Structure 1
Amino acid sequence: MYQECEQIYATRILRGVLGLPDGYIPPESLRSWVTALKWMNTILLYIPMGWVLAARSVIERRVDGIIPPEKETWSRIARSVGWRIGRTVVKLPDLTVRIATHLQMSAGYDALEMKHIAFIKEARGVAEIPMTALTEFRDTLKRLWYLRWDNEHKEALWRLAVNGFPAARLRGNVTRCPCSAAMIRGDRIHLFWECTVARALCDMLRFEVGENVELTKVNLWLGIPPLGIHTLVWDIVCLAALSALERGGEKVDVQKRTGGRKRRNGYKTRD
């Protein structure tokens, strides 16, 4: 019985409806009528119940002329299967590798967007931001990505934007920084703005750009240059500063844990 159903499925559905040539190996979810039925039942859950009941009513009455031939029915269903991306509906014949990749990564994209929104809010010190702020930050990341500079100088900003530093770097649940200050407002804002290392770096930047120029987290975190500084120049300054803060914080952390000792010729010595 099972083999007979498989043959009917292959003849009527795979070759008859989907038009697959002989010898073609379909996706794993469609290779067996059992798995195909499972997926069809899953799709059925997304169809309005009123439509389902109406279709079953017509089938039970078997009114001639209302139900199209089986092959045509399945063909219509196959052509109507698709995916909704925002306001756009992508049907099965229009599916491309690029669209399929986007669908597969959509959950990751959504999570990344939420991380970036939280980062921009923290940089601006506000509870809500306009969507234009997210677009501007994405444009900044895109511009920096194409900057002809080693990616190691860009990684600090990428990690900072998603709070993606190793747990040991952010001290886990520890509320005190290696600089001995309490991280009252969180580890990211402390390590990259309020920490002793961060304040020293910001003081140096203010000295270079001019003491009358106000330097804020928006300038340093979001890559928006202070008044009078060219964007391309600030791109380099911003990336170098964030990379220095990351490494500086790590160095303070190591010195705090080792008591200022380092190894020379296999022995721990004090500077």
Structure 2
Amino acid sequence: MTDILHCAEMPWGESLVAQRGPTEGMAHKRLFEGEESSPDNYMLVMSQEPKTYFSPRHRHPWDQIRFCLQGKIPIAKGLHIEGGEIGYFPESAHYGPQEGGEDRIVLLLQFGGASGQGFIGPDRLKQARLEMERSGTFEKGVYTAERDGQRVNRDAYEAVWAHVKGAPPAYVSPAYKAPIVMRPEALRWKPSADRGVAHKAIGVFPHRGLTIQGIKLDAGSAMELAPVEVMRFLFVTEGCGALDGRELRRWSVVRLLPGEDGEISAQNSLEIMELIVGTVDNRAG
């Protein structure tokens, strides 16, 4: 059966970025996760981030999407992802420092990049951090440990990666040199073949088989979700309705695994953000 969660009613859990150092008020809701050993491993969470959170300029050997639901996310000096905007952070592309901005709530998807190095899930990351804290400290995004009688600093995530993988990240040449910030509100809705249903193309990144689009259903309308051979996430931004008779409401999130289908119906005007994620071995481009 298709997975549906109602994020607004879920309790906040512990911070999943404690390797960046302690930050009061940082919390996450774990929504969906993949297989740790797979190059297609992923994690979808809702993140509560205070403006006091700090992360230095850095990069990752995997991809991520940040959908700002409330507030403002700093991603570089003078550059923010504001409420309603979506940021795509390509594998190996630098960003940061992250400091300031506003308190925010973010839908965050992190997933293995096109290089096939995979993604370290939250449980394995926490285990590594606790192991590393026996011989060093995590503070302000940096891991500090003593080596050959000298204190050595290293980016916190790179240090965790090396601890888990036995080698530092192998950064590939990024497909895009910098994060891309998308503004869905600036894009037009286009009617579809289904009466009362419209779509909005937001972003297509073929090197990783990633597509971001909006779906809008007028009150009383419905549409079929045909089965496809990739994974899809549906996030309700406004309105209420149902998927195969199961309730959808604001901040409900759906995971459709490859081959799964369904019918969406709208009780009142329903708006959805859809993320389509291909596999590393079956990506376009």
TM-score (norm 1): 0.23
Structure of greater relative contact order (alpha carbons < 8 Å, 6+ residues apart): 2
The structure with the largest strand share of the pair is 2
